[in-house]
Amino acid sequence: MKLTDEQIQSFLINGFIKIQTNLPEHFHQTIYEKVTEAFKDGNPGNNIYPCIKELGNVFKDANVNGAIQSILGEKYFMQPHRYTHVSGNKDQSWHRDSFFGFLKEMRYHQPWNLMAFYYPQNTTTKMGPTAIKPKTQYDAIDPMRCPSHIQNINNFTSPDDVLFECEMGTVLLVHYDIVHRGTRCLSKKDVKRFLFKFLFSRLDFPSSPSWNHNPCTELWDAKNVGPLQPIIRSMWDWMLGKPVRLVPLCDDAYMQCINDLKSQAERGRQRAAYMLSCSGVYDILIDILSSNCESIYKIEATYALCSCPGEQVVCKLCKVLEEKIQQSDCFYFIYVLGSFGERARQATDLILKIGADCQCPTIKRYCCESLCSICPEANDAILNFLKDVLLNCRDVVPESNKLKDRNSPYPHARYVAALCLFRLGVNASPIVDSIIYAMLNDCNRYVNGFCLLSLQSMNTHDSKVAVEEYLNKTKGFCLKTNKRSTF
């Protein structure tokens, strides 16, 4: 069942929505029994899905599937990472999830990624439920990686925190970047709280509402949500597939925004940056990207620039990027250009040149993402660039599959290249042999996984043969995942 306007608006504000499946009680009891049995040999990690194939029925459920489609569009997919959490005797730290161990400088205010938490048992406050900090999906500050001199309110418990008590069969859909934690189990009963975490992502930009939308709500302006109002209004426009509304500022409001950019409070800085961007005043935000200020201020300005209406901002970003072509922080500009999608086609050659000429895997990664968004039909030059990153972006020190290698920027760039090739679908078929090679031979499990998804989406003769042989060999399991290396 698709969500309503009110439910989408609530998700954009708070960052989560609770969905109840229509599956019978005995289904969830069976899942609980099977996961209890599976854990006797250790946490299956990514392999929980092939271990308990019935889990697929949770996401085929009409309520769950309809809700995910409403947020991510009909072309969404399940990522190859999944994990099962069981409550323990300690609270987790407040955190945002990494990307399977990889850290990312820039995330997404727009709902490109979604986490689904499925609970196969009734969950009470004594069983260690999930705790969430509502509205934190838009914060640039990571509670676990914040410089000591920057104000960070998200590593402390707050009266606004939400503890999720729920019935068996509940699926909690949360914005990927929300701050959350698992809480400790206070119950002495021998009943474990299991939580299955699955990740979903959208494949393309929205072109129209993907939920049960009433056109009368089109100009909703989120006026009652406080300082987040310009952010959430921009997200609403983006979800509708519409250009972000141009909202001019009077002189007094403009000066207030300029002053608030220097505020100690993150919400004040965010509001100011978005108000400037949505009014078409982008020069000062681009200046922040070009300055030597703290990265947190650059990140906030980058997010805001993604909602800048009009075409002139693309020209200005390209002009400044040409001057910063050799600088390590040019990825901020590349990220913004990618967020504009096909609006930024004029940046294609420039981004290709930067990606091809630099040796930095982080910049190459952002180039992959932006090119895939700007030019989804993928010309030969883009395919050759993605192929080069997929096969050749490697450290001089040989990689392995040990835990410490998950933070390396090189496999991070390769898996993003594989993900981009998946997003291109059949347009990636000219380099099918390279994708098959990486699926079979890369040492990183997420490169393998996204290459498999790419081949499945291609649906050509060569890709179908490769997929069939691979799945016959693996039976759907990740061969690099085991109880010592779960993800």
Nearest to 383 by CA among 333, 340, 412, 423: 423
Q: Beginning with the edge strand found earlier in the chain, give each strand of the sheet holding 130-133 in spatial order.
A: 162-163, 130-133, 179-182
Q: Is the pLDDT of residue 102 over 90?
A: no
**Tokens linked to 444:** 């990183």
Tell me how far apart the alpha carbons of residues 238 and 206 are, in angstroms, rounded to a whole number.
7
Query: What pLDDT does 157 receive?
Result: 76
Query: What pLDDT does 399 receive?
Result: 56
Tell me how far apart the alpha carbons of residues 49 and 34 are, in angstroms, rounded to a whole number.
12
Task: Answer whether 240's CB lies under 8 Å from 154's CB.
Answer: no
Q: Is the pLDDT of residue 427 over 60?
A: yes
3-state class (DSSP) for residue 67: helix
Tell me how far apart the alpha carbons of residues 33 and 117 are, in angstroms, rounded to a whole number.
18
Query: What pLDDT does 92 receive?
Result: 87
Tell me how far apart the alpha carbons of residues 219 and 140 are, in angstroms, rounded to a whole number.
27
Q: Is the pLDDT of residue 203 over 60?
A: yes
Q: Is the pLDDT of residue 97 over 90?
A: no
Query: What pLDDT does 405 receive?
Result: 55
Query: What pLDDT does 328 receive?
Result: 79
> What is the chain's mean pLDDT, rounded?
91
**pLDDT tens digit string along 363-421?**
999 999 999 999 999 999 999 999 999 999 998 766 554 444 556 899 999 999 999 99
In this prediction the pTM is 0.93
Least confident of 133-147, 222-236, 392-406, 417-431: 392-406
Comma-separated ranges of CATH 2.60.120.620 domains in the chain: 5-202
Give the confidence band of 264 by pLDDT, cuts at 50, 70, 90: confident
Tell me how far apart the alpha carbons of residues 241 and 207 are, in angstroms, rounded to a whole number.
4
Tell me how far apart the alpha carbons of residues 34 and 440 are, in angstroms, rounded to a whole number.
30
Query: What pLDDT does 190 receive?
Result: 64
Query: What pLDDT does 145 receive?
Result: 62
Query: What pLDDT does 103 receive?
Result: 82
Across 19-34, average pLDDT: 96
Q: Across the chain, how many H-helices and E-strands are there?
A: 19, 8
More confident residue, 142 or 424: 424
More confident residue, 191 or 30: 30
Query: What pLDDT does 397 receive?
Result: 66
Query: What pLDDT does 395 receive?
Result: 82
Q: Is the pLDDT of residue 153 over 80?
A: no
**Tokens linked to 235:** 């997200």
Least confident of 157-171, 176-190, 337-351: 176-190
Cα dihedral: 218, 221, 225, 229 (round 10): 120
Give the confidence band of 105 by pLDDT, cuts at 50, 70, 90: confident
Measured from the Cβ of residue 44, the count of other Cβ atoms closer than 10 Å reads: 23
* Residue matched to tokens 């109880």: 483
Query: What pLDDT does 191 receive?
Result: 75
Give the confidence band of 30 by pLDDT, cuts at 50, 70, 90: very high
Tell me how far apart the alpha carbons of residues 360 and 266 are, in angstroms, rounded to a whole number.
30
Give the confidence band of 486 by pLDDT, cuts at 50, 70, 90: confident
Q: Is the pLDDT of residue 149 over 80?
A: no
5-202 belongs to CATH 2.60.120.620: yes
Query: What pLDDT does 402 receive?
Result: 45
User: Which residues neighbour 404 within 8 Å (Cβ) at sequence distance 6 or greater?
Assistant: none
Query: What pLDDT does 403 receive?
Result: 44
